[in-house]
Chain A
């Protein structure tokens, strides 16, 4: 054999051996073309937002067979390797990538690069990058103030309705439309441009014929992404004042403020009662603690707006009620630090206002011992006394965030530090979205339940918070039911589960009046 043939033979043997040895690598998956994989990503720029999930998708291909796909973004703590062989038992020549990743609600960064690396069985790699930015628009625009589903107009010389609509969007509003078939100029949809603002208000005074009739009001708001939200109301024109099931007392000045809370504003007002406990038609009585002199209040026929049913004080006689939106004045509560009892008759337009002192305001429990070492921890007569407090509970009695007590009114409590309500804080998630999840309860170091406790009358729409406590478990003198206090237990184990849409995520403060058994969760300002 000539030397060059010898070299050739040796080379062939060596190549063959290399070939065998390479076949033995990588779990015996063989090389076909040795080329790097191809990557065709659906998008290299994905707009998303905090609390949202983005999805990286694309088509991957490799003739040798895809082994792994890695997605890497250290800022998002993303370092995922999809092991194709582990999942499918063999490498794939094509693979449709479709990987979703949620962004934390607390994420503060604006943009991120996710590096996608595809590796085949012969360790050839292909890399791509996807830019993730936090400017995605996912929320539908919302009506932060809009007429309720039923609106009643009382015929007057000129029957008008003050239409107030507030809309908002997390990114940018495009336009809104208003339509009231049969009423000009809204017989056909009227389009109002919002100019890309995040919030927009629209107001108009609409005149209705003095004929008893019903009209539909259609509202639509659309954002820049084309997402839209609609609202529908029925406006009934009537000549007779109706006996409303209840009214609301508003101590705020604007429709936005009426709708800014999670619950508790405006305050539910019920009918006045006879001595026998029967409702008195057209007559309503509200109890209200006045923290500061000069508080202005109104009685409303709807929960979300001042129009169309709103009662204030007659401009000339403050003992009379008025619903003339042109002339009426707010009812002004002049005395601070007292409870008001306001009785109105919407048929006779009469109004009486009286006060009673804090000392006469009954409560279910001894609020005068609040924040003192009066809590009987074991309920055994006081072998272990602990600081008595109660407040916001969303886990267990040993985790209660205790209220601060108002310096003037011992019945009034509030959270000093506002609470953050968002996807990661204080809210429960379900298929229907996020809701609050709490009750008002005493703090107990050992975690005992239902010693001092209030729960809402309605899970999703709490208007008042009846006493749920169980003082009889406690034996020290401080823990008897207040003389004359009538214990009313709400039915069922009701935790406050008010829906909180994402556009309302933010900081709120909880207020609670143990005498009125009213609570409100209002924006912290």
Chain B
């Protein structure tokens, strides 16, 4: 109403001034040429003004000497002299400074220059440059301190470590999408919907998410509507991916290796020869797999109503004949401003994800006997097509082509996120906001394994097996905040925020299965068709949180900053008396570049020193960890089996929160008009009361089995640093950007149980014992085994490998075997001779980002690498022919076969009496350092003329992971970091590697 009154007054004033004034009209457009409604057009120095209509047009009374001021939120304000013009058209340019400088923090936003914590931001346009199913893949190398390890298979979410590891209870950061904490990963998001991602790396930033902030918090903001005409965007990219061939031996070399293993040991081998030479890798792994991504969106609005609507489809096929993952997303983000006090919004984001589980047959393809044909002779074929495959002639590997043919594991996940919110601003300084978020998913998973008999004693499934699992998830979150922002005496800037949230997560499932369907026909792959062994189960799990939170931000003259947060959480996972915990944080910053002593200089654009401290928590334990549970157990009474129950898990009613205390010191520098930006951080994170399962004390009366109990007894520590440089500049038609990110973190286990017992974990088939030893006070996940000292070249060397009294250290060794080091010098090789032989965590992580633009061309390159990390490479077992498995190409020549022929690969032996391959040793450990070109993208934007004067069309070619510089001999130096928990990582189990992907795409704005 006030606005209309204001317009009426202007009109009356116009009548008065009519004699000296005339009408001026025009159209205001944005930088795409689209009309901009709602732009304020004011005569400078007066209150005379109008706003543009829906088509961007305006009419205003002016005098020749007037200057018009055009202003609109998000655009640079322009001033234009009127002169004698009758028509004045204006093109508004987006204010990049305004857009870029706002950083989303927990429950609010701040200007980047006002940050006191360690927060990294990546914009949506950086994310969409990568065609990937999970936006986190785009962070690799671009956000310092965030370790991203990818698995290449369709739908595999990357493993994320934010500033190392301080707990064994889950390493994933907390994802918060538009203010809603998400349980699990963000596969469901359409990358094109993301406006920005903020990584809250230190506790002073993440403590506001206290309960789950210990692994870092990643805030994701989706695109919102912007006032203006509807702007459409269509983008598409499609291409193919490939993975490397590990090059295993052909039939001739396989036979030579097989028989030589026996003859070297004076044994008869009994090799079953044939004329076949099957290339199992090529039979199992396709040369290419399709990747495609499409997206259509429209964005626009008025001064009242804003909208952003998008639809996207992504699909990635596996490298096998079976296996894919796709998702179809729709997102409708709307906001309506009722008046200057009230606005409300509704975000609705439905999605459908579908996938067939990608088989895991790369190890099988490498092991399978190449002298075996894929199928049995046709004369032996029967009705069951799954039985017509041939079994491996000379080993017990299962036919991998048959395994892929049998694969039938399909899942579909439907979901919708609904986020309504209401925001009231009763006074300029105070904003009250309430938001309810609901995330509902429903998933169906079907598994079927057919009956087949490839080999009745060794490779068969007696009865087909069919199962179906229905799962429902429903999470909600209600967030209420009040934010007060004001400035006193022009220099005292204060922001106060207080809030209350409540969250609940539920997971409900039921599953049923039967065996022995009448046959394998598709219509009969239903549980009801099974004829025996009916099984079913179902359960429901809930957990909830209730929280109070607050934040005070103060800065004096934008020079001295102080931020403090506090959050009190109550979790259903903890018992009465320990349910609630409080997580405080404080941070301070000094922007010394604004001090008087630096006034007038031009080289330093910005300089800020930051200090942060905070406590964050972790509650990643079972919902029922506090409860002692009973489970089914059978007893034998008087010789009869009697059904009964027994304690199945022991609860701890004294459990409390696991907390992480974090210190951070950071320095932000910008030089030469912000062309060079440097950021440095050092930090230490240490967990206390880490939740850890230890064996129960038997004096409590519980039985010895199933008696591990959760206790607050552990502690871990991560210490590290980050350093990043970014240089950007523009020269004529050239503009370029060079970024370098360096970081390092060391992860230590301060204690597990406190009793000093090391935690052994990690194993590989064919290698005895555990590979990894985690000990209290030491770095985590280090490989622990024997050191080697080359290969015995002759008998003299074998006989000389003794202690000082002549005791043979390796009595079974002979020339060609590995010489293991008797570390303790006791004359025998025992477990006491094992030591730490490798660390899977890198000493240094490097990201390099390059961008060059010239006229309409643009070229972007991203590199990511790790240095100093080791990998336990089980691929090296394929030099042994263990159990008759196929070997890597060239093994026959590479393996020791006479003095001087090898000091690395031991002799071929069927018995392996020296346990060359059976021991955990540094024979398997390789330097896993690598530098990978993550992406090269060459783009061309059509010149802005003709139709494209107001529309943007860009084509591009992208290569993802096109090359890797590494000395590692396995398939992928990145994959081992993905597998295993944080204390059991770095073992290469021959899993799906990161593929090379080649794409062609276009991006069309109209």
Task: List residues of chain A with CB under 8 Å of any chain B CB.
Answer: 53, 55, 74, 76-82, 87, 98-102, 377-380, 383, 395, 398-401, 443-448, 473, 475
| Closest Cβ–Cβ distance, residue A278 to chain B (whole Å) | 32
Q: Does B628 contact A (CB under 8 A)?
A: no
Q: Known contacts being A98-B805, A446-B396, is A399 close to B457, with CB within 8 Å?
A: no
Q: Does B789 contact A (CB under 8 A)?
A: no
Interface stretch (choices B262-270, B583-591, B944-952)? B262-270
The digit string for B526-547, where 1 denotes a CB below 8 A from any CB of A, is: 0000000000000000000000
Residues of A within 8 A of B805 (CB): 98-100
Query: Most chain-B CB neighbours within 10 Å: which of A74, A82, A398?
Result: A398
Q: Does B192 contact A (CB under 8 A)?
A: no
Whether B806 contacts A77 by the Cβ 8 Å rule is no
Residues of B within 8 A of A102 (CB): 808
| Bound CA span A446–B396, Å | 8
Whether B799 contacts A101 by the Cβ 8 Å rule is yes
| Bound CA span A401–B269, Å | 11
| Closest Cβ–Cβ distance, residue A108 to chain B (whole Å) | 15
Whether B456 contacts A379 by the Cβ 8 Å rule is yes
Whether A380 contacts B267 by the Cβ 8 Å rule is no
Q: Per a CB cutoff under 8 Å, which of A77, A81, A378, A379 touches B794? A: A77
Residues of A within 8 A of B380 (CB): 383
Whether A445 contacts B272 by the Cβ 8 Å rule is yes
Whether A380 contacts B456 by the Cβ 8 Å rule is yes
Interface residues of B in 376-431 (CB under 8 A from A): 376-377, 380, 391, 393-396
Residues of B within 8 A of A444 (CB): 270
| Bound CA span A198–B796, Å | 35
Q: Known contacts being A81-B800, A446-B393, is A100 close to B806, with CB within 8 Å?
A: yes
| Closest Cβ–Cβ distance, residue B176 to chain A (whole Å) | 56
Query: Most chain-A CB neighbours within 10 Å: which of B268, B270, B272, B802?
Result: B270
Q: Does B271 contact A (CB under 8 A)?
A: yes
Whether A378 contacts B456 by the Cβ 8 Å rule is yes
Given contacts A77-B798, A82-B804, A383-B377, 5 further A-B contacts (CB under 8 A): A76-B799, A98-B805, A101-B806, A377-B272, A379-B455
Q: Does B807 contact A (CB under 8 A)?
A: yes
Q: Per a CB cutoff under 8 Å, which of B394, B455, B802 touches A80? A: B802
Whether B799 contacts A380 by the Cβ 8 Å rule is no
Whether B796 contacts A399 by the Cβ 8 Å rule is no
Residues of B within 8 A of A79 (CB): 796, 799-800
Interface residues of B in 795-819 (CB under 8 A from A): 795-796, 798-800, 802, 804-808
Chain A residue, CB-CB nearest to B376: A383
Whether B795 contacts A77 by the Cβ 8 Å rule is yes
Whether A399 contacts B393 by the Cβ 8 Å rule is no
Chain A residue, CB-CB nearest to B815: A77
Q: Known contacts being A380-B455, A448-B457, is A80 close to B800, with CB within 8 Å?
A: yes
The digit string for B817-839, where 1 denotes a CB below 8 A from any CB of A, is: 00000000100000000000000
Q: Per a CB cutoff under 8 Å, which of A99, A399, A448 touches B806? A: A99
Q: Does B183 contact A (CB under 8 A)?
A: no
Whether A99 contacts B799 by the Cβ 8 Å rule is no
Whether B270 contacts A380 by the Cβ 8 Å rule is no
Q: Does B89 contact A (CB under 8 A)?
A: no
Chain B residue, CB-CB nearest to A98: B805
Query: Most chain-A CB neighbours within 10 Å: which of B269, B396, B804, B911?
Result: B804
| Bound CA span A154–B910, Å | 58
| Closest Cβ–Cβ distance, residue A463 to chain B (whole Å) | 30
| Bound CA span A380–B453, Å | 9
| Closest Cβ–Cβ distance, residue A56 to chain B (whole Å) | 8
| Bound CA span A445–B262, Å | 13
Q: Per a CB cutoff under 8 Å, which of A74, A77, A399 touches B268? A: A399
| Bound CA span A443–B272, Å | 13
Chain B residue, CB-CB nearest to A97: B804
Interface residues of B in 451-489 (CB under 8 A from A): 453, 455-458
| Closest Cβ–Cβ distance, residue B561 to chain A (whole Å) | 57
| Bound CA span A81–B268, Å | 38
Residues of A within 8 A of B272 (CB): 377, 445-446
Residues of A within 8 A of B270 (CB): 398-399, 443-445, 447
The digit string for B129-147, where 1 denotes a CB below 8 A from any CB of A, is: 0000000000000000000
Q: In terms of DSSP, what is the predominant structure of the interface of chain B? A: loop
| Bound CA span A76–B268, Å | 29
Residues of B within 8 A of A99 (CB): 802, 804-806
| Bound CA span A380–B457, Å | 8
Whether B799 contacts A78 by the Cβ 8 Å rule is yes
| Bound CA span A204–B802, Å | 53
Chain A residue, CB-CB nearest to B825: A87
The digit string for B267-293, where 1 denotes a CB below 8 A from any CB of A, is: 111111000000000000000000000
Chain B residue, CB-CB nearest to A444: B270
| Bound CA span A76–B799, Å | 9
Whether B796 contacts A78 by the Cβ 8 Å rule is yes
| Bound CA span A74–B797, Å | 11
Query: Most chain-A CB neighbours within 10 Å: which of B262, B377, B806, B884?
Result: B806
Whether B799 contacts A446 by the Cβ 8 Å rule is no
Query: Most chain-B CB neighbours within 10 Å: which of A80, A395, A446, A448?
Result: A446
Residues of B within 8 A of A395 (CB): 267, 911
Chain B residue, CB-CB nearest to A76: B799
| Bound CA span A76–B806, Å | 14
Closest 10 CB pairs of A and B: A77-B795, A100-B806, A398-B270, A445-B270, A79-B796, A99-B806, A80-B800, A77-B796, A445-B272, A399-B267
| Closest Cβ–Cβ distance, residue A83 to chain B (whole Å) | 9
| Bound CA span A55–B393, Å | 50
| Bound CA span A447–B802, Å | 36
Interface pairs (6), CB distance under 8 Å: A74-B796, A98-B805, A102-B808, A398-B269, A399-B270, A445-B271
| Closest Cβ–Cβ distance, residue B778 to chain A (whole Å) | 26
Whether A77 contacts B799 by the Cβ 8 Å rule is yes
Query: Most chain-A CB neighbours within 10 Å: which of B376, B377, B455, B884?
Result: B455
Whether A379 contacts B457 by the Cβ 8 Å rule is yes
Whether B394 contacts A446 by the Cβ 8 Å rule is yes
Chain A residue, CB-CB nearest to B390: A383
Whether A100 contacts B267 by the Cβ 8 Å rule is no
Residues of B within 8 A of A447 (CB): 270, 884
Interface residues of B in 686-711 (CB under 8 A from A): none
| Closest Cβ–Cβ distance, residue B142 to chain A (whole Å) | 50
Whether A473 contacts B457 by the Cβ 8 Å rule is yes
| Bound CA span A395–B269, Å | 11
Residues of B within 8 A of A98 (CB): 805
Residues of A within 8 A of B911 (CB): 395
| Bound CA span A380–B391, Å | 11
Interface residues of B in 897-930 (CB under 8 A from A): 911
| Bound CA span A473–B455, Å | 12
Residues of B within 8 A of A78 (CB): 796, 799-800
| Bound CA span A398–B270, Å | 6
| Closest Cβ–Cβ distance, residue A433 to chain B (whole Å) | 17
Chain B residue, CB-CB nearest to A53: B806
Residues of B within 8 A of A443 (CB): 270
